[in-house]
Structure 1
Amino acid sequence: MQWINFLHFYQPANTDYYIIKEALDKSYWRLVRLMEEHPNLRMTWNVSGCLLERLYDAQEFNFLERLAALIKNGQIELTGTAAYHGLLPLLPREEVVRQIEANLKIVKKTLGIKIKPAGFFLPEMAYSPKVAEVIKSLGYEWIIIDEVATEVKPCSFLVKDKISGLKVVLRNRKLSQTYPPTQILKSKSASGQDFMITATDAELYGLRHQDQTAEMEKVGKLKDLKTLTISEAIKELEKGESFVIDSLKLSPCSWDSTRTDIENGEPFKLWKDKNNVIHRDLWRLANLALSLDELFAKDINYEWYRWHLVRGVASCTFWWASEYDFSNVFGPYAWNPDIIERGLEDMIRAVRSLNDKKSKKYKLEAEDYYLKIKKNIWQRHWNKHWQN
């Protein structure tokens, strides 16, 4: 059996450090130790730049050094990504490029390594043809997205995006919504798939799921299991004389999109639901704040504007307003007024921080959105979610 396991390490840039520390202690350290103790294991990881920055600022140098060592020895393949986890299909091209380039700089600063990743992780696996074209133009070779992107069945896990020309790895959603080590142990003696591709949040391994029987560690000891990084798997497949990579037109989607969402023209419904007034007004404020970048690039407080902006438009600000229940896939109920409000505060502070007198009219418009959103968040919370 062959297993390709992709893990996404992320915590919002504006979260409290104790939340990061809990994920570090329960999941991140466990995974690093697992790789060190089983040098035969290979995985592909995305470690978001904003998380690396927080770990660096907290002087978690032992963890960062050991992570860097695993990358250097080839056990871990690190992907590119957007540093502050914005939902790229809903952001301007300039912001997409800026966050991708920022991530590479953060990796160099915090891990002490200069990398040129072949692969790219789209935050929330949020794919659109336009974003794929941007990623291709920046020199990346492949992306990983959910299999919901295509209706072609059966389909190889590796296809080619007809629009951008990128190689596309399709994750198995059913397997990825379980605890993968359990499925590996069940499958090793059974007939069926000899090839598994899973992609999950790294926090699944300890923080969200208590692996009391150490199934992941048991998987590490399997002698008949071959693990590969994504780039290794692509090369191995392409060596096969009979392998033909299908060129497909892929649907905009995320790793939580349904075919119904896609058919209804709302592939990113968890972040931008046309029937969710909080989403609507958050995006009005976000788009206003984003539009000021070029206008006030020479403002004396521009760096503070940027500091707050990237934190405010992170995908979490919108996701936590979606009111969707993820408890059946090791996740929470997606409603948290404090997290929504934290993103909202960063958005308004981005606009408030500008010093130029010409920004006054934008400030007043932003304040109107801000007050409206704040009122709606808490009215919805007390009326619908509190003690219910």
Structure 2
Amino acid sequence: KRIAQIAADMGFEWIIGEELSYRYEPGAVKYDRLYSVKDVSRNGQPLLMFFRERNFSFKILSGQLGTANLFANELGNRLMDGSYLLTAMDGETFGHHRPGMEKQLVELYQTSGVQAVTISQLAQHVTNIEETDTLPATWALMEKDLTKNIPFARWEDPDNVIHRYQWELTDLAVKTVQNSKFKIQNEKTLNFTLSTLNSDRGEENLTKEQSQWLEARRLLDRALHSDQYWWASARPWWSLEMVERGARELTGAVDMVPDVSEAIKKKAQELYFQIITTGFDWQRTGKVDELCQKEDEEVRMRTDAGLPKLPAEELEKMIAHLRQEMLAVAGAQEYERAGQLRDRIKELESYKK
């Protein structure tokens, strides 16, 4: 709710979230109405909350609905009773993680009898609005995380020691920057100097220490990206390079604060080395592979579960799309991408057996 209020204060009219953030109950959202966030508004205008349909989104991104016929069959008559379908997926799924699926996505948009609208347009079509509370959740949320009450497990898992080190370093960096006596107190000046493309503009009246603090704040802003925690989860994604980058940027922000003590600098460096050495140890001992394999199996069970049940003719159509794409990219000497398409074809062909 706190994030929702921030979005409303910034002028946003709606936000989109995970279906499970509504009561933590799969299937509880009613797609014949809109929802507004309880007690969150701006100038009397409530903030609308859209919930993406979880299972339908999974089926699209996994290729289970890779043709217009499959998509239409899955929809059935649900759009005839005043309901709508709202899906949301990462854009890189189409063509990057799932080579060839970008063309299938276009085909889905062109399904006969289905009117595609933007979310803002949807708000004009549906007038019934229900007020609701929202619960912490992300698109990556899995039911097993709910049972442990850790909705942000890929970013802050109490069982993940790297996460603990990362957040200790994050808190240290934020407090060090914020508690500096050279912090720019004037919000207007601060916002202007942080947002300007020319970093020298707006700094003419600042002292040397204030300018240095401003650079520390810029470094901190860049360092507070969620990638470093996500890639440290090994659920199933892992990148020690991204983990190291985040730790290095946070440590750099601490070092830049003009009045930082040597003890704080030393603590930041110690946390940096704990993060990196633990990451290397995870790789050396095989823990990364173990965690990734376990999680990858669960993800594939969720996203690919329906593929073996698809009609053979629909699988053939999906494979034909991919073969055509593979030949095209191979002709353009994009051999790595052609190899990805080949692997996906083999994967789909295995479901025909």
Q: Which TM-score band applies after superposition, normalised by the shorter structure?
A: 0.5 to 0.7
Match of 2:78 among 182, 193, 196: 193
Q: Secondary structure, in 3 states, of the residue corresponding to 2:131?
A: strand
C-alpha displacement at 1:286, in angstroms? 0.5
Q: Secondary structure, in 3 states, of the residue corresponding to 1:275?
A: coil
Indicate the residue corresponding to 1:155 in structure 2.
29
Q: CA 1:133 to 1:348, structure 2 compared with 1: closer, same or farther past 3 Å?
A: same
Match of 1:372 among 266, 274, 284: 274
Normalising by structure 1, report the TM-score: 0.58
**What one-letter code is carried by the residue in structure 2 that aligns with 1:310?**
D
Equivalent pairs: percent with the same residue?
23
Checking the alignment, whether the CA contact within 8 Å between 1:278 and 1:377 is kept in structure 2 is yes
The C-alpha deviation readout for 1:47-80, integer Å capped at 9, x for no partner, is: xxxxxxxxxxxxxxxxxxxxxxxxxxxxxxxxxx
Distance in 2, matches of 1:225 and 1:279, equals 44
Normalising by structure 2, report the TM-score: 0.63
The C-alpha deviation readout for 1:282-304, integer Å capped at 9, x for no partner, is: 00000111123333325332343
Match of 2:9 among 112, 137, 155: 137
Checking the alignment, whether the CA contact within 8 Å between 2:95 and 2:102 is kept in structure 1 is no
Runs of 4 or more consecutive aligned structure 1 residues displaced over 4 Å after TM superposition: 220-223, 385-388
- Of the two, which has the highest radius of gyration? 2
Instruction: Give unpaired runs (5+ residues) of structure 1.
Output: 1-128, 326-333
Q: CA 1:358 to 1:217, structure 2 compared with 1: closer, same or farther past 3 Å?
A: closer
**What one-letter code is carried by the residue in structure 1 that aligns with 2:13?**
E
Indicate the residue corresponding to 1:206 in structure 2.
95
Distance in 1, matches of 2:249 and 2:66, equals 40
Distance in 1, matches of 2:5 and 2:38, equals 10
Distance in 2, matches of 1:197 and 1:182, equals 17
Distance in 2, matches of 1:266 and 1:367, equals 29
C-alpha displacement at 1:154, in angstroms? 4.0
Indicate the residue corresponding to 1:74 in structure 2.
none
Match of 1:177 among 58, 73, 76: 58
Indicate the residue corresponding to 2:327 in structure 1.
none
Distance in 1, matches of 2:71 and 2:289, equals 43
Indicate the residue corresponding to 1:166 in structure 2.
47
Q: CA 1:349 to 1:141, structure 2 compared with 1: closer, same or farther past 3 Å?
A: same
C-alpha displacement at 1:263, in angstroms? 4.6
C-alpha displacement at 1:149, in angstroms? 0.9
**Bigger strand share:** 1
Distance in 2, matches of 1:275 and 1:387, equals 17
Instruction: Give unpaired runs (5+ residues) of structure 2.
Output: 41-45, 185-209, 291-353
C-alpha displacement at 1:306, in angstroms? 3.0
Checking the alignment, whether the CA contact within 8 Å between 2:158 and 2:164 is kept in structure 1 is yes
| RMSD (CA atoms) | 2.5
Q: CA 1:273 to 1:197, structure 2 compared with 1: closer, same or farther past 3 Å?
A: same
Distance in 2, matches of 1:204 and 1:260, equals 24
Distance in 1, matches of 2:100 and 2:215, equals 42
Match of 1:351 among 245, 254, 268: 254
Indicate the residue corresponding to 2:124 in structure 1.
235
1:254-269 counterparts in 2 under 5 A? 254-269=138-153
Distance in 1, matches of 2:233 and 2:288, equals 16
C-alpha displacement at 1:185, in angstroms? 4.2
Indicate the residue corresponding to 1:321 in structure 2.
232
Match of 2:106 among 213, 217, 221: 217
Moved more, 294-303 or 203-212: 294-303
